[in-house]
A and B are shown apart, each in its own frame.
Chain A
Amino acid sequence: MDKFSYVNATSLKQVTSLLSDSGWGEVMMIAGGTDLLSELKEYIETPKTLVNLKTLPGMDSISANASGLKIGALVTVADIAMHPTIQQHYTVLAQAAASVATPQIRNVGTLGGNLCQRPRCWYYRDETVNCLKKGGDICYAVNGLSKYHAILGGDPVYIVHPSDIAPALIALNASLKIAGPEGEKTLKVEEFFTLPAANPFRENVLEPNEIVVEVQVPQPKPNTKSFYLKAREKGAPDFALASVAGVFEMTGKTCQTASVVLGGVAPAPWRSAEAETALTGKMINESVSRKAGAEAVKDAQPMNDNVYKVTLTQNLVSRTAMMAVS
């Protein structure tokens, strides 16, 4: 990696003003560093200054009450996975966090870093390949090797969003607090992530001088069942070939409301309104869940090497739905 100066953050104000002067990449934030350090080592990023967020006060705790959860951006993935209230009432989130990487990485990787992590695309991670996402002319995955790439929402950039936690948060209808030079704002996690058609270079709406501060999750209704299913080639560590965050409000076997958000298949976490419609108000059984799976991938446009992801995603959606009644 190139040389950089290192600044310990003291306040949000200081961080946003440090970030303000430059565009992307000059001054960068580091939290757990599990993603950023490999970008530095591979010279994908060469910042002049790193701002260490871990010294920010008050951003590393989880508070849970009847109205919901507040999780600071510096809370580790492990703390989310092992939190008893999250495990009990926000199961999908605990399961998603537990599926991340390995114990070592979960112990240092943070929530903020997980949501803001960069793509794993093997062309992107190769310093010498200047692909579209890095300002080049083409997406190499289009005519290249695309086994791990997008089947939904690609064009012109076919990465998949690597975060496991993001789909779970979206399925739980969570919001995110962002601080910038003008102060704080809150938006839905779902609105945070963007597709490449809007901006091929970034994966979310964050401006270069903004920081994710906190995530807020409303408490699910008592009759809610939720699951995170993640398909991968290897037990750990491995990113999702496809994943499904499902949150179902149930009365007996009938699904009152359904949230179905896919991971590993699109450049952003992908809410499947089609699958949700197919499940909402229905008695869930084999054929209803199969229909929901088929609906979820109805618009899929697989690339050369990832046709299998269509079947996989479809099956995972069906399986998640069936779990609500088993």
Chain B
Amino acid sequence: MASWGEASQSRLIGKRIARLSGKEKVTGKAKYTFDINRPGILYGRILRSEVAHANVTDLDLTRAEELPGVKAVIPLIEVGRKVRFQGQEIAAVAAETDDIAKDALRLIYIELEELPFVVTEADAMAEGAPQIRDDWKGNQSNPGTNKNGDVEAGFAEAAVTVEATYHTPVQTHVCLETHGHVAEWIDEQNLTVWASTQAVFGVRNDLARRFELPANQVRVITEHMGGGFGSKFGPGVEGHTAAQLSRMTGRPVKLMLTRKAEHLVAGNRPSMTQHVKAGATRDGRLIAYDMRGYGTGGISSGAGFQAPYVYHVPNRRTERFNVAVNAGNQRAMRAPGHPQGAFAMDSLMDELAEKLGMNPLEFRRINDSNEVRQAQYTLGAQEIGWHRRNSVPGSGTGIKKRGIGVGSGLWGGGGGRGTQARVTINADGTVEAVTGTQDIGTGIRTAIAIIVAEELGLSPTDISVKIGDSGPGLPSGGSGGSQTTASVAPVIKTAAAAAKQKLFEHVGPLLQAPVDDLRVGTGTIYVASDRTKTVAWRQATGLLGQESISEGGTWDQELRQGGVAGTQFAEVEVDTQTGHVKVLKIVAVQDCGLAINRLTTESQINGGVIMGLGQALLEERIMDPQTGRMLNANLEDYKVPGTFEIPEIKSIVFDTHRKVTGVGEPPCIPTLGAIANAVYNAIGVRIRELPITPDKVLTALAEKKA
């Protein structure tokens, strides 16, 4: 049976190894799609609707076409159709400079007949609201319901019940590198695209379909990528447009979204509102749960969330629906549906525990059947100093009050088939690992080097890792669902093992030993039964002469495993005079399976915590019911965590087994509940609506006093 071996035998796997591209990135040498420049490049831009809902009654591109330097103008909507959200594509231009392209957009004439719009869930659900989707009745989708056990009987058995409404607003992805492409037709039948994407092969296949080309005549390259978080799986309108403009002009076209467009159209995490009633027995068992909730994914559906979450309730009923509003549509965003659900559930758990007079951690232990998380509770509580929390919430003295809270999460991340990889050993000793995955910042490039180096007795920097390119024709899946490492690692390992085996066949005669008696050392190959017999790596590969070894791999079920548990503890300090919440410390205990690279795994946890913190305290898409516009489609009023917000983060890689599991998404889940519960523990007033901004804290404190 294939295995990753014992920890004690690993030279590299599980150690802390610096990211291979780290130096390139911090010195600005790394080329992102934004940095790609091609001879004769043109700049593409998209004109977008500035209104939320309207009929397009006229569109005239002539004046833009006549502007010197403009090479192509195309409509992206037909007269007679509707625009249904601010940011919707109207037309696009390609020009000699970006400034000309920008000027050209302003010369496009568009006539709109404005229609009534709704941009908030409340307005959309109000009586008499204008209907904004032709395929729905009203602005609510048919509810999906789910029922288990006997809810009424459950409530009858409950000693305490809590009824509450929890809300999280729409959050946007805020990819540091906005969505975009550089498209270049090599000839009429061959298209090369540099894409800021999480799915090199996904983009290739999509573009091939769109332009009716054989897939192998489209090449997609993503050397480095500046953040996707679930929003960059396909070329989208902007990718199609870039390729089309390039085809029309016969020149390369770069088309990157503006920051504003990034907020408006490049996806978002849907909102969530839950009205929930839940009950627990005197001895602390969750017994009944009744939830009605909704969210908006903008003009699209897909606003799902987890409820109940993590903790088991035997008798439960849930009803969920989508609310459509005139706003850009949702896309998958880091652990779709989980952070929202976790915030509500973790808040609810604390509220129930308080009614029972029970320690909220104790209450969780009773209702959590997951053994990993049980162990994490113990470790995390120790790390944060759980005993220091206020046994009576809000009982601290002074202006700045501290509190401690806990939250939980779960995820899959077991990987899947669909990756092909090749490991090549050349006669000069160089080693290449090639596969069509992409490094979206999680560190798969380094992980691949580590795995190959471990297998061949080399150092990670000896391995040349070629990824983020569909050119070699070795497909791999999109980087989503925390699946990348668990999908790629087994294939890389088996490919490296196969290449090693082939090399051993050459080395056997030299060392006069059977192949299965050969082992790799550090830069050497030796005979296990007689360690005096050894050959240096470079000498061994020299035996290949004019040949190279090039081996593929297979995905091996036994090398990976899905299903992770996580828990986080937060300590906060709330300034009761200003309402400002400062997170002092987060302890994140994350079930990780086998961490190929402990350092980048920790980075991944840090990043998740920061993202969760942003959602807990700062981030919110603000839609104006008056103008139908997003008022904070920038990074001034859409506030993401900055240096001052980042607390001490204790990221604990919680090893549970030696199989690879993805952890890209789960570390952003428990943060919200942990912070919200810590705020409650500090001030004794519960804030059920995120983000927890000073206005909400001050209002809550004032209500408490009154």
Contacts and interface: CB of A to CB of B under 8 A. Distances in A.
A143 B694 contact: no
A315 to B, nearest CB: 4
Interface string B117-146: 000000000000000000000000000000
B405 to A, nearest CB: 21
Given A140-B626, A145-B624, A315 B645 contact: no
B693 interface: yes
Interface of A: 2, 120, 122-123, 126, 128-129, 140, 143-145, 147-148, 231, 233-238, 241, 305-309, 311-312, 315-316, 318-319
B257 to A, nearest CB: 16
B176 to A, nearest CB: 16
B702 interface: yes
A130 to B, nearest CB: 11
A233 B698 contact: no
Nearest to A138: B626
- Pick the most buried of A307, A308, A311: most chain B CB atoms within 10 A of its CB: A308
25 contacts: A122-B632, A123-B627, A123-B631, A126-B627, A126-B631, A128-B627, A140-B626, A145-B631, A148-B637, A231-B694, A233-B618, A234-B641, A235-B643, A235-B645, A236-B644, A238-B639, A241-B695, A308-B579, A309-B695, A311-B702, A312-B577, A312-B694, A312-B698, A318-B577, A319-B399
Contacts of B580: 231, 233
- Pick the most buried of B579, B631, B696, B702: most chain A CB atoms within 10 A of its CB: B631
Nearest to B622: A145
Contact of B642 (A120, A236, A309): A236
B212 interface: no
Contact of B637 (A122, A128, A140): A122
Contacts of A233: 580, 618, 639, 693-694
A237 B636 contact: yes
B578 interface: yes
Nearest to B695: A308
B631 A122 contact: yes
Interface residues of B, number: 31
Contacts of A237: 636, 642
A316 B50 contact: no
A307 to B, nearest CB: 7
Given A143-B626, A144-B627, A311-B702, A235 B694 contact: no
Interface in B650-706: 693-696, 698-699, 702
A144 B625 CA distance: 7
Given A145-B624, A233-B618, A238-B639, A307 B578 contact: no
B629 interface: yes
Contacts of A147: 695
Contacts of A235: 642-645
Give the 3 A-B residue pairs with the shortest CB-CB distance, closest first: A235-B644, A315-B577, A308-B695
A57 B572 CA distance: 50
A129 B629 contact: yes
Main secondary structure of the interface of A (DSSP, over half): loop
B626 to A, nearest CB: 5
Contacts of A123: 627, 631
Interface string B285-309: 0000000000000000000000000
A315 B576 CA distance: 9
Given A140-B624, A231-B694, 14 more contacts: A122-B622, A129-B629, A233-B580, A233-B639, A234-B618, A234-B642, A234-B644, A235-B644, A236-B643, A241-B694, A307-B699, A308-B696, A312-B579, A315-B577
A319 B577 contact: yes
B639 A128 contact: no
B470 to A, nearest CB: 36
B643 A144 contact: no
Contacts of B642: 234-237
Contacts of A140: 624, 626-627
A234 B695 contact: no
Nearest to B627: A129
Given A122-B637, A233-B639, A305 B632 contact: no
Given A233-B618, A308-B699, A316-B577, A128 B624 contact: no
A281 B579 CA distance: 31
Contacts of B626: 140, 143-144
B695 A128 contact: no
Contacts of B636: 120, 237
Nearest to A307: B699
Interface in B612-651: 618, 622, 624-627, 629, 631-632, 636-637, 639, 641-645
B111 to A, nearest CB: 15
A126 B627 CA distance: 11
A281 B695 CA distance: 34
Contacts of B696: 308
A116 to B, nearest CB: 19
Nearest to A315: B577
A126 B50 CA distance: 10
B475 to A, nearest CB: 41
Interface in B44-78: 50
B311 to A, nearest CB: 32
